Amino acid sequence: MPIMEAWEQRAKRFIAGGATHDSWATANPLVFERADGAYKWDAEGRKYTDFWMGHGALIVGHNHPAVTRAVTAQLHKGTHLSGNHTLLVQWAEKITQLILSAEQVRFCASGTEATLLAMRLARAYTHRANIVRVDGHFHGWHDEALSGVFEGWPTGAHPEAASHLHVVPPYDLEAMETALASRETAAVIVEPGGGSSGTLPYDPGYLRRLRDITRQYGTLLIFDEVMSGFRYAPGGVQQLSGVIPDITTLSKVLCGGLSGAAVAGGQAIMACFEAGHTDKVLHTGTFNGNPLSAAAGLATLALVSDGTIQKTLDRNTALFVDAVNDKANQVGIDVHLFHQSSIFHILIGAKKAGIDIAPSEDAVWIAQKNGAIYSELKVFLAQQGIDMHKSHGWLSTSHTHAVLEAAAEKFQCAFNQLLNQNRATGLAS
């Protein structure tokens, strides 16, 4: 039996669902052994260009020397100190220097935990029960974050949670104002850089009006910058837009490829974490502020704090998108890419459907409608030596021009395979 097939079978036997993240679950899930720079290798030694980049966490690539040195040094000092430590204090200080809304920080273990904690904090501070979220925006996998993501209520979620959640259409300020008019909403939570990792547009005008409306009704505004924080700009979308939320959630780039997250906000709100506070928010967590994550995070934030990396990656992503779109035109297939910041997105069948090649609600819709074909393309890309999410990918500083030129050629080969497999479905452009 081939090595990879044996690993795949072991994974399916011992890991529930065959993978520990739904986006990794395929008919034949890849099993990786190591990574370096822009690449990773599977259990059989096959090399892949990596556009997952730790789901966006690895903005400086795998095994960046500064990050590796910092984590290695901390390994010799301890992996769990069960209390405040010097790196934790420095990490919190660095966040407050970069993120405009952050006067104080509270660490947790994942982006999902951060949005859950932010909602709890908002309810404690406002003494209100309801949360409003925007359709198409993603905030993790807990019950409240999944409201409106799927048809009906998520399987296994507590049914009563739905009574305190309201989902409004993206960019519909009238619907938002109607939802807040009762003055029973603790917070509105949004991905300010555009929902679904930037599939929806980044719209500073919308954010400014949303800030005005939430203030009018005494509702807190939560920016979920798990994805956009430190990637769109050193200070995230709030730096770009000038719109300052009440609470910010952070993860991914924050931790330099290790696990962790944070909730940040003004002192008056964050005071709800203080012992003896009238509205004390209970918050524990064995791995909150782990020293290894702090080491990796501090090293990464030092590299990205002047904004040079973000600007370079934005330019490189634009060039890559143009190159892949040229390859698609050469093949004659209705597949197109667009990007926001250093995240690129794939649209399959957009031309036939009359959809603009740009962030939009239609871009979210077509990825759902053509999900099976997206999954096919993901398999063909893997066969050519590219591993990524089926509809989008992240760039890092390790994706040099040479890496991206070679990747564009691999996309072209995968497009040829996809077109040959789907000629009857009208994928030809």
pLDDT digits (tens, 9 = 90+) for 1-30: 788 888 888 888 888 888 888 788 776 778
pTM of the model: 0.95
**The domain defined by 31-63+307-425 carries CATH number 3.40.50.150:** no
Tell me the average pLDDT across 327-343.
97
Q: Which residues contact 228 (CB under 8 A, 6 or more apart)?
A: 191, 192, 193, 198, 236, 237, 341
Label residue 149 by pLDDT band (50, 70, 90): low
Orientation angle between helical segments 291-304 and 308-331, nearest 10 degrees: 80
User: What backbone torsions phi and psi does residue 33 show, to the nearest 5 degrees?
Assistant: -120, -35
DSSP labels, 121-187: HHHHHHT--EEEEETT----SSTTTTTTTSSSSPTTS-GGGGGGEEEE-TT-HHHHHHHHTTS-EEE
For the chain, give every domain's residue range: 31-63+307-425, 65-304
**What is the dotted CATH code of the domain comprising 65-304?**
3.40.640.10
The model's pLDDT over 237-248, given as tens digits with 9 standing for 90+, comes to: 999 999 999 999
Chain Cα centroid distance, residue 12: 26
pLDDT at position 46 over 70 = yes
